[in-house]
Amino acid sequence: MSGVFVTGTDTGVGKTEVSLALLYALQARGLSALGMKPVASDGEAGAQGLRCDDALRLQAQNSFQVPYELVNPYAFEPAIAPHIAAGEAGVEIELARIGAAYDQLAAQADWVIVEGVGGWRVPLGPSLSVSDLPTALGLPVVLVIGLRLGCLSHSLLTVESIRAQQAHLAGWVGNLLDPDMRARDENIATLAALIDAPNLGVVPWIENPSAEAVAEHLDLDILLSERPMGASGAR
| Residues forming the active site | 37
Phi, then psi, of 6 in degrees rounded to 5: -95, 115
Distances, alpha carbon 132 to alpha carbons 169, 220, 226, 229, in Å: 14, 25, 21, 16
27-44 burial string, b = 16+ CB within 10 Å, else e?
beeebbbbbbbbbbbebe
Q: Residue 92 phi/psi, 5° resolution?
A: -105, 125
**Nearest alpha-carbon partner for 75 in 64, 59, 91:** 91
Q: Which amino acid is at 224?
A: L
